[in-house]
Amino acid sequence: MNDHIQPSGIGGADEEIRWYLQDLAMLPTLSLRAEQDVIQHIVADPTSAEADTARNQLIEANLRLVIRLACRYYPFGPEFADLIQEGNVALIKAAQHFDPVRSPHFKLFATRRVCWHSLGSLENIFARITSSIQR
């Protein structure tokens, strides 16, 4: 896979971020059918080891989604690595709280969670900047 994801303007990115992006390019993505099969394992027995493995598959297959969303928020001030970290936390929480009855597509559900989480982080950053300027 030749899927290189890097925000514009991050030319001097840390070497660790570059390695992380290269590793992500090697991870397989899930087709819609494969995603549905993985979700069925979770629905069948949500507390089983098989369900945990399925959740991990969903998370790994959608890590690139976090990078793409982080690229949207990067120009607004936060460090790219911080956005990735916050997005990955939100992705993990999305996998834990995903309910296929309410939202049949994990990617859509995860996108909403990651964006919502990222916006909350940005609001906190802007609030700190504003309060420091007012002093």
Residue 134, pLDDT score? 62
**Given this model, what pLDDT does residue 112 score?**
86
CA–CA distance, 79 with 106 (Å, rounded to integer): 27
Which domains does the chain possess? 15-134 (1.20.120.1810)
CA distance 19 to 32: 28
Query: In this predicted model, which residue has the larger pLDDT, 55 or 130?
Result: 55
Residue 35 has pLDDT above 50, yes or no: yes
The backbone torsions φ and ψ at residue 46, rounded to the nearest 5 degrees and listed phi first, read -60, -20
Question: Each residue of 87-100: pLDDT tens digit?
Answer: 899 999 999 988 88
Amino acid 1: pLDDT: 42
Cα distance between residue 21 and residue 19, in whole Å: 5
pLDDT of the residue at 2: 44
Q: What is the pTM of this model?
A: 0.76
